Amino acid sequence: NIAVCYTPVTKWQRSNQFQMDKVKSHLTFFGLTFLSTRKGAWVIGRVVDRGLPLDMMMMTRARDLFYWLLPRALLNLILERILNQRFDHKLYGLQPVHRILDQHVVINDDLPGRILLGDLAMKSNVQKFQGSTVFFDDGTVEEKIDAVILCTGYDYKFPFLPTSLSSGSDGDLKLYRRIFPPSLERPTLAILGLFQNNGPIMPAVELQARWASRVIAGLNHLPPAEKMVKSIEKDVQANLKSYSSPKLAALQVDHIPYIDSIAKEVGVRPNIAWLLLKDPAVGLRVFFGPCSPYQFRLNGPGHWSGARQAILTQWDRVAKPMKTRSIPEPSSFGLISWLGLSGGAALIFALLAMQFIPLFLNSD
């Protein structure tokens, strides 16, 4: 059995991720699957260095600051080299036409292995279908195709909402900070999760919910509608540098700056400088460690007395589920052992020098 997974149009960038998930689920049933793509994609696994989770390793304030300081062209080069060290995207037929920071990466652990095993073959864009034959725009043809899966993504619409909340010919829903429609007279509606970020979505949605509940309850207040509209337009213009579609550009947010901005509205954004002075153990972990939701429970509305301890022990909880087999610790190699080894090496070097230096001098 042979299948073709075809993605002619990407309506929402997250459909790239769904595309890969569909391919993975169907590889079990088909002998060979062709994955047709117009533009390719950068692919990263959920598991990174030392087998640790991607989001906890990558989503740190220190790394975010480092990325912000580097020129975009240099950062593109560094990140692409890192991904190509895992597997060569060009060799595997995945090399995209865009730079890594210009579109969202695809998160998938199985794709390179499936290509390497021959279960999956990358193909260019589909030109046409003729019966059970597929013609690709690079001139290649594949016959006896049993199934075609159209991974076209999806569009989002809200037909149950008043048309006054939408704007543009496609009925796009404009949202202030990706939550509030600015055209409402009173903030009685909040839409959560309608954004595309470069990090885990649930921590951001949690903060959205905390802010929305306070706004609806009257504890926080939104700026005038004119300011909200200008803020939306500013965000879209900034994102249009990478996303040609205004609708896609309106969805994009940078994970840590975005959740920090929402946390500031709620009154729970951590003060890193103060933490480093007052509680260095926590401050260092907040800055260099994972940007986890615990950080937004240290103070302010909804603070949690256990947040500090949770931050200090979060890596213990990552390791806990994997410690299902008792492995003895290797024997320690202490300072005295190192000194003894260094002294022995120095003695051997001295003896060799005493042996060969006279021979070298006599040879003259």
**Does the pLDDT at position 27 exceed 70?**
no
For the chain, how big is the Rg over CA atoms in Å? 27
How many other C-beta atoms are found inside a 10 Å radius of the C-beta of residue 205?
A: 17
Pairing of strands 141-142, 133-136: antiparallel
Q: Which two tokens stand for residue 332?
A: 């320690």
Q: What is the pLDDT of residue 75?
A: 93
Please say if the pLDDT value at position 101 is more than 60: yes
Percent of the chain with pLDDT over 90: 47
Structure tokens at 61: 């304030």
90-114: average pLDDT: 89
CA atoms within 13 A of residue 3's CA, in its CB half-sphere: 20
Q: List phi, psi (to 5°) of 38.
A: -80, -40
Q: Is it the case that residue 22 has pLDDT exceeding 90?
A: no
pLDDT of amino acid 207: 97
- The pTM assigned to this predicted structure is 0.80
- pLDDT, tens digit, 9 for 90 and up, residues 34-89: 888 888 899 999 988 888 999 999 999 999 999 999 998 999 999 999 999 999 99
Whether 61 and 32 have beta carbons less than 8 Å apart is answered as no
Domains and CATH numbers, the chain: 2-150 (3.50.50), 163-317 (no CATH)
